[in-house]
Every structure is written in structure tokens, then in C-alpha cells.
Copies of this chain bind each other. A is one copy, B any other.
Amino acid sequence: MNEFDFIEKLRRRVEDGISSASSFIPHPSSLVQGIGDDAAVFKSLAGNDVVISTDLLVEDVDFRPDTTRPDLLGHKALAVSLSDVAAMGARPLWALLSIGVPDAVWNSEFLDGFYSGFFELASRYAVTLVGGDVSRTPDKIVIDSILVGETTKAGALFRSGAAPGDQIFVTGFLGDAAAGLRLIERGARLPSRTTARQPAQANPEAGEHHQLEYLLLRQLQPEPRVGWGLLLGEQQLASAMIDLSDGLSSDLNHLCAESKVGALIDAARIPIDPLVTELSGRRALDPLMLALHGGEDFELLFTVKREMVARLPARVDGVSLTHIGEIKEAVHGVLISEGSRTWNLEPGGWEHFKEARGKT
């Protein structure tokens, strides 16, 4: 059983429970979306949707203290949740942080740096830290980032709204975060003086040193697409949306499964960062594989009805948009074409329990 099977099993168990629940007290608010999307959603009495996401980051699984910095980790803990809330078309509002650290970390500068990075990103989106929990751990740092957001009355955007004929788009460039991770695995490190803020787009004219740094930061300090999510939600331009945390191949499959549709995307249209292509050549990496299966780009993948496509802006906050394919009937499956060839796009993104999958 991998984690997606597990979540699906949990969802069925909850849905069975809801239909047979003994009602303690009738609920004044109603659940719109439970397990199975980027965030949970319930409708407030005022008619707007409240969304809540939670993301667990574990030392030596999701990050390594020796290859990142406390401030970048604080940034990333909030960024992954901002990306979830953006993928619901919602505005981020309130954050909670549960954090567990060993004694040695408690007595270090770690938490100061961590919260500096967290607050720096939070202030950019006027997100307020409203609560959390602090605990000791025996030896590893664990962080659970919880974020509450709200939509306009128009409501949230789900993974499940795509229909055949809808056009498929992604924001920004793909493969950067995976390339950054490969570089880190091969020993690349940020210089300690690197400024925390990265440019919205890489500069291909910059020297290799700066290009490397840019890709490392795309992995260590991802920029969630808050502006895009908010615009698509408020104007209801997308029929379905998901953020690219597991990788395009996995996340497109998730979206299609929830919408009960298939898809055809064109490999030539996938916006691979020119920096990734350039650096990959010299390092025997395959840029298309990084863009398809590398996770953690935290770009948005969404579908748009044909007649709405003309209303899409070209850029939001300097981040571009690329048309990569079309939603098909479920019977076609999830496909990718490369020149004259077409094949099934199997989920190849990152799963925590992938190694365990064969055993159960």
C-alpha cells in the first residue's frame, strides 16, 4: 500500500462513517470537500468557503539540516501550505505551526532563523501566525504547517471539476526543484551569504555560479503561486486545479482520477526551464524526466473551459502560463505525446512509501 492508496482507504472509511454517523449535535457548517484534495473545505454560514491544509515536514525525509538553512526551512514550511491553499483558489489568512525539536536544537539559533524565514514569507501575503504547538523530540526536527484560507462567495476550485475538452495549463517552469535536488545530492551547497529572496525568473545570462544558486533556491525556497491561485479562484477561470508537489505526472494523474477523465499533454509544450536544460546536458540529467516526474516545483496545474481560455492573463506577479494539453474522456487514460509517439503518462513523482509499495 502506498500513501495514495492509504489516503483513499481513509477517505472511504470516513465517507462510510459520515453516512452512518450518530449525530451528536447537528452541524451548522457544511463540509464541502474532505480527504482527497489539496485542502479540506467547509462552507461558512456567510457562504464563502474556508479551506484548511496541513503539511508535515520531517528531518532526513523532507529536508536535511546540513543542506538547507533554518530561514529557508521556515520559508518552505509555509510555502508548501500556501501552495495548497492557492490550489484551492483561496486567499491565505491564518497559519498554525506545530514544531518538535531535540534539546540541542532548542538551545541553538535554529528556531530564530526558522521563524525569520517563516515570518518573512508570511508578511508578504499578510498571513498571521495564530497558534500551534511546541514539543521536544528525541532526535529529529518535525514541523507541521497548517494554513487556513478563505474564498470569495464563488467558492473553492477542486481537483474534481475537469471535463473532456478543457484545456490544461501550468504556471512557471518545471523541473527546477528536482534539478536543484540532484545538484544538492551531488554536493552543491548554497553560499552562506545568499540573500533569501530569489528572482521570479532565472537569468540565463548569469554565470553558472548564479544559475546553480537559482536552482538550489527553487528546491530550498520555493515560491508558491498565491497570486495565480487567488485570481483563478475569484474569477472562477479554472474548472479544476492542483499544485505540483509530487510532480506533473503524478499530479495530473491525481487530477484526472478525481475528475474521472483522461488527458493528453504534449511533451514539446512542457515549460522546462532553459537553465535546467543547459545544466542537465553537462550533468547527464534528462530535463524532460525532471520536469515530468520531479516534485516540489509548487507550480499550479489547472484546467480551463475552452470558452474561458481567452480570459486568462498572460502573467500574474511576473509568472507566466503555458498551455500543455487537453482533458479527454477517461477511457483514453492519461497520455503524453512526443512528436509522433504517444504513451501513457504513469505517475512517477515522489511518494513517501514508494519502496514499501511492492510489499503489500
Is there an interface contact between A135 and B58, defined as CB atoms closer than 8 Å?
yes
Is there an interface contact between B28 and A48, defined as CB atoms closer than 8 Å?
yes
Shortest CB–CB separation between residue A1 and chain B, in angstroms?
8
Is there an interface contact between A40 and B140, defined as CB atoms closer than 8 Å?
no
Q: A126-B24, A138-B60 are in contact. Are A133 and B55 (CB under 8 A)?
A: yes
Q: A40-B94, A137-B140 are in contact. Are A54 and B129 (CB under 8 A)?
A: no
B-chain residues with CB within 8 Å of residue A53 when the two chains form the complex: 131
Residue of B nearest to A53 (CB): B131
| One of A99-107, A200-208, A273-281, A296-304 at the interface | A99-107
B-chain residues with CB within 8 Å of residue A44 when the two chains form the complex: 44-46, 50
Residue of B nearest to A48 (CB): B45
| Copies per assembly | 2
Residue of B nearest to A124 (CB): B24
Residue of B nearest to A119 (CB): B17
Is there an interface contact between B146 and A58, defined as CB atoms closer than 8 Å?
no
The CA of A360 and the CA of B359, in the complex, are separated in Å by: 48
B-chain residues with CB within 8 Å of residue A52 when the two chains form the complex: 52, 94, 96, 130-131, 146, 148
Is there an interface contact between A58 and B100, defined as CB atoms closer than 8 Å?
yes
For chain A residues 36-58, which have a beta carbon within 8 Å of chain B? 37, 39-40, 42, 44-48, 50, 52-58
B-chain residues with CB within 8 Å of residue A76 when the two chains form the complex: none
Interface string of A335-360 (1 = CB under 8 A from B): 00000000000000000110110011
The answer to the question of A110 belonging to the interface, with a C-beta cut-off of 8 Å to chain B, is no
Residue of B nearest to A62 (CB): B135
Is there an interface contact between A137 and B58, defined as CB atoms closer than 8 Å?
yes
Shortest CB–CB separation between residue A25 and chain B, in angstroms?
6
The answer to the question of A154 belonging to the interface, with a C-beta cut-off of 8 Å to chain B, is no
The residue that A359 contacts in the complex, of B55, B107, B128, B133, with Cβ under 8 A, is B107
For chain A residues 86-132, which have a beta carbon within 8 Å of chain B? 91, 93-94, 96, 98-100, 103, 106-107, 111, 115, 119, 122-126, 128-132
Is there an interface contact between B7 and A134, defined as CB atoms closer than 8 Å?
yes
Q: A24-B126, A144-B54, A146-B146 are in contact. Are A35 and B132 (CB under 8 A)?
A: yes
For chain A residues 1-26, which have a beta carbon within 8 Å of chain B? 3, 6-7, 10, 13-14, 17-18, 21-25
Is there an interface contact between A56 and B128, defined as CB atoms closer than 8 Å?
no
Is there an interface contact between B21 and A123, defined as CB atoms closer than 8 Å?
yes
Shortest CB–CB separation between residue A174 and chain B, in angstroms?
23
The CA of A135 and the CA of B141, in the complex, are separated in Å by: 13
Is there an interface contact between A133 and B129, defined as CB atoms closer than 8 Å?
no
**Residue with the highest number of chain B CB atoms closer than 10 Å, among A42, A60, A125:** A42
The CA of A54 and the CA of B53, in the complex, are separated in Å by: 13
B-chain residues with CB within 8 Å of residue A39 when the two chains form the complex: 131
Closest 3 CB pairs of A and B: A45-B46, A40-B130, A40-B131
14 contacts between A and B (CB under 8 A): A10-B129, A14-B128, A17-B119, A28-B150, A35-B129, A35-B130, A45-B46, A45-B47, A46-B46, A52-B94, A58-B100, A98-B144, A136-B352, A139-B140
